[in-house]
Structure 1
Amino acid sequence: MTERSASPVHTPPTFSDLRRDFSFSAVLAGFISVVVGVSSSIGLVIAAAQAAHLSAAQTSSWILSIYIGIFASGVLLTWRYRAPILTAWTTPGLALVVSLAGHLSFGEIVGAYMVSAVLITVLGLSGAFERVTSRIPAPLAAAMLAGVLLPFVLSAFRGLPGSPLLVGGMTLAYLLGRALWPRYAVPLSLLAGVLVCVLTGQLGSVHGSGAFGTLMFTAPTFTLRGLLTLALPMTLLTLVSQNLTGVAVLRACGYGRVPASPLISVTGVASLLAAPFGAHTINLAAITAAIGAGAESHPDPNRRYIAGLANAFFYLLVGIFATLVADAVEAVPPALIVTLAGLALLNTALGSLHTALADERWREGAAVTAFVTASGLSFLGLGSALWGLLLGGGLAWALRRHTR
């Protein structure tokens, strides 16, 4: 169940490579990752905009600029390293913005975004982040990924009592696909879910106008209050809860050849350029990255970069038609999105668990890492992924030291 390593060659693909490597499953993986990412977090953007009393134009600029930044950074990194490098926005950081929106002016918020982006870029260029992540043993990185994915996989089946026909039909289609056409198990599940929704009348109406979004410049205001309450915490949250997990996803899926420093630097620069238009921090995707980089995207790791390109272009479309997309997401039953995400991540979670527990020397530490991460623990301002690494890594170090 372990991933086969991708080619060590960093040569960007040519157009002939694109034609040869194109696959429907990879494009669909990119699409599903966008659906999951947008549906799970776009509501936070609206909540933050309302809390900050932003105008419709400012909110539109925020959404469009963040998705343009995700598109540009995702395409650049995926093309450069020929790997499915998916980018996204920082959801924990956005939750922090929601809590502070009533206490900071929007100019101060934008200024904090820019300071955070500069800090992240500097950490990427200095190689400090690379040095930290390179010291994380592969079994612990795989265990952290498994712990991050397990709650999503379990949630897919928890919805069965409430929506037996929808969740049951999608699960049955997935299992049938895995048995007969493994590459198309997730598409079959999606098709089954949409079919059930249509036949049972569970699809709502879409009222979005589909008008193009517009960019609106906001002059940044740099204050000590914005630095201490937003910029520094957002930097820490982005690096620990998003970028650290994103690097772990890539390595667990066979892309250890991709250096971490340029990934952090590029997302930092993209954040800096998009911030004056309202966009908060852009970072490596974590959960959705596992959809594009996992075996469900394509059996050959060297052809999964198509999922990264597809993901970026679908995000650009979301930004252009943000109002229409938001309404479309609300029209779909939540159970469909949750089940689709869990089934799409099932195989990657299984492979990560196998990698984490395969080496007996790391097994107990990896198990603690996976379970603590899956618990959702949040303590002293640190999330479960970091606590999982600290506790599991500490146990592994103590056991290895005792063995010697």
Structure 2
Amino acid sequence: MPRSRPSTHAAAGLVQPVSAGIVSAITGFASSFVLVVAGLRAVGASEAQASSGLLVVCVTSGLCCIVLAAYFRMPISFAWSTPGAALLVAAAGVTKDFGAAVGAFLVCGALIVLCGLWPALGRAITSIPRPIASAMLAGILFPICLAPITAAVQIPVLALPVVVTWLVLSRLAPRWAVPAAMAVAALGIGLTAGSSMLEGASLAPTLSFVAPSFDPAVIVSLGLPLFIVTMAGQNVPGFAVMSTFGYTVPARPALVASGAGTMIGSFFGGHAINLAAITAAIMAGPDSAPDPAKRWPASVTAGVLYVVFGLGAGVATALISAAPPILITAVAGLALLGALVTSIVSSLDDAARRIPAIATFLVTASGISIAGIGAAFWGLVVGAVVLLVSTAGARTAVSSPNGPGASTP
């Protein structure tokens, strides 16, 4: 009997990290899978292609979690790019050629790999002023976060129960607020659509190969902004979250793995994967295990569950396709409210850069398209120009004895 104690203790020691991994995977999947499908459909994916895209980002994220966490013995975790999916929703109308969108995804993945192999590029991307990058992300998220209001007016019977559920649980159990809101939305969709929801839908997990095409305008409109928001909005915070819990994530393997996963997944409709940030805190924190060296099974568990959830991509896509689009966007908007608040606060934190940040936000949120290039790119451009002009003006005022600041005592 004494010989069985070590294995018993080991099994008991796994309960906490495995539980953390389960909670993290359920929270991560349920809170934003609707956004992934909606984003892929917005840039031209068919229902089958969107289902394939959701499947492949689940599988590639899960495999990266399993392999890197087990190899480095730390709770390194990956997820799909939620800001990237929001970008796709906001970029609806930029292209309806999903092959061109896939080409943009492929370019994004290649750039992430390049960041891992060439650190100077990573430093250049992360050197984009935080107010500008945050304001661009806020501009992407803002129209989506308006959707709960619009849905509550247009389809109150379906939307109001979702909003009320989210509101109550955001006070009582914040971690489960969005998954519960999605469950209520699914119930409403099921009651409304009935058995017709599944008619003609392919529920079995299938991969659909999509041949990429390379449209320069789509690459600039989608590929580059997707790369920037994935790096600035997910990978950089992901490294920071792990650092706060005492982990130094090896940058090269993490970026190369997620970039390669993005490239491979793009051929089957996946948009981008990256280091997890919010859910990473669940697995890397003390709630996962008191001993930091014993938290890595949480990420392995989450990775296994992501692969399992991917097998249900057909059902998830059929559910979303049966729903009024505004309801799906509303659920996504509730999921992204926290990210919107964080982005706005971060963009306005530096008083000297508030005007460039607001300019970036307004242009990005406007949804304009010029020369076939979407608003996210133009928001960055306008923000950079305003920042340069305002900075040059400030330098002139300080350096010139006859400038506006000369008479100030």
Q: Deviations over 1:339-394 (max 9, x none)?
A: 21111111221122112112211111111122222122222343322222221132
From the superposition, tell whether residues 330 and 315 of structure 1 become closer, same or farther in structure 2 (CA, over 3 Å).
Answer: farther
Aligned to 1:387, which of 378, 385, 403?
A: 378
From the superposition, tell whether residues 240 and 177 of structure 1 become closer, same or farther in structure 2 (CA, over 3 Å).
Answer: same
Give the Cα separation in 2 of the matches to 1:343 and 1:115: 30
From the superposition, tell whether residues 186 and 281 of structure 1 become closer, same or farther in structure 2 (CA, over 3 Å).
Answer: closer
CA contact (8 A) 1:143 1:356 kept: yes
Aligned to 1:126, which of 111, 118, 121?
A: 118
SS at match of 2:351: coil
Name the counterpart of 2:358: 367
Task: Tell which deviates more after alignment, 382-391 or 186-195.
Answer: 186-195
Q: Percent identity?
A: 25
Name the counterpart of 1:56: none
Name the counterpart of 1:32: 31
| CA drift at 1:268 | 4.0
Give the Cα separation in 2 of the matches to 1:195 and 1:250: 31
Matched, 1:279 2:268: yes
SS at match of 1:358: coil
Instruction: Calculate the TM-score normalised by the size of structure 2.
Output: 0.67
CA contact (8 A) 1:242 1:284 kept: no
Task: Tell which deviates more after alignment, 306-315 or 205-214.
Answer: 306-315
Rg (Cα) greater in structure: 2
Matched, 1:150 2:139: no
| CA drift at 1:280 | 5.3
CA contact (8 A) 1:123 1:129 kept: yes
Q: Deviations over 1:131-164 (max 9, x none)?
A: 3212112222222221111111012211122211
Partner amino acid, structure 2, of 1:179: R
Aligned to 2:80, which of 74, 84, 87?
A: 87
Matched, 1:326 2:326: no
From the superposition, tell whether residues 154 and 18 of structure 1 become closer, same or farther in structure 2 (CA, over 3 Å).
Answer: same
Name the counterpart of 2:8: none
Give the Cα separation in 2 of the matches to 1:16 and 1:147: 41
Give the Cα separation in 2 of the matches to 1:139 and 1:31: 30
Matched, 1:244 2:236: no
Q: Within 5 Å, which residues of 2 pair with 1:333-352?
A: 333-352=324-343
Q: Deviations over 1:106-131 (max 9, x none)?
A: xxx99999899667644642235313
Partner amino acid, structure 1, of 2:206: G
SS at match of 1:355: helix
| CA drift at 1:245 | 0.8
| CA drift at 1:173 | 2.3
Task: Tell which deviates more after alignment, 126-135 or 265-274.
Answer: 265-274
| CA drift at 1:244 | 0.7
Give aligned pairs, total: 356
Give the Cα separation in 2 of the matches to 1:180 and 1:70: 30
Task: Tell which deviates more after alignment, 161-170 or 68-77.
Answer: 68-77
Q: Deviations over 1:16-62 (max 9, x none)?
A: 7733744636622332222321244258333897xxxxxxxxx9988
| CA drift at 1:231 | 7.4
SS at match of 1:86: strand
Q: Deviations over 1:69-116 (max 9, x none)?
A: 454346557876846542369857998682768xxxxxxx99999899
Name the counterpart of 1:9: none
Give the Cα separation in 2 of the matches to 1:315 and 1:42: 21
Matched, 1:137 2:129: yes
Name the counterpart of 1:4: none
Give the Cα separation in 1 of the matches to 2:260 and 2:94: 22
From the superposition, tell whether residues 244 and 323 of structure 1 become closer, same or farther in structure 2 (CA, over 3 Å).
Answer: same
Give the Cα separation in 1 of the matches to 2:77 and 2:320: 25
CA contact (8 A) 2:109 2:272 kept: no
From the superposition, tell whether residues 139 and 26 of structure 1 become closer, same or farther in structure 2 (CA, over 3 Å).
Answer: farther
Give the Cα separation in 2 of the matches to 1:374 and 1:306: 40
SS at match of 1:161: helix
Q: Where in structure 1 are there 5+ consecutive unaligned residues?
A: 1-13, 50-58, 102-108, 221-225
Matched, 1:269 2:256: no
CA contact (8 A) 2:62 2:78 kept: no
Give the Cα separation in 2 of the matches to 1:307 and 1:148: 32
CA contact (8 A) 1:113 1:231 kept: no
SS at match of 1:382: coil
From the superposition, tell whether residues 167 and 350 of structure 1 become closer, same or farther in structure 2 (CA, over 3 Å).
Answer: same
Q: Where in structure 2 are there 5+ consecutive unaligned residues?
A: 1-12, 244-248, 289-295, 396-409
Give the Cα separation in 2 of the matches to 1:175 and 1:63: 27
From the superposition, tell whether residues 360 and 324 of structure 1 become closer, same or farther in structure 2 (CA, over 3 Å).
Answer: closer
CA contact (8 A) 1:26 1:307 kept: no
SS at match of 1:140: helix
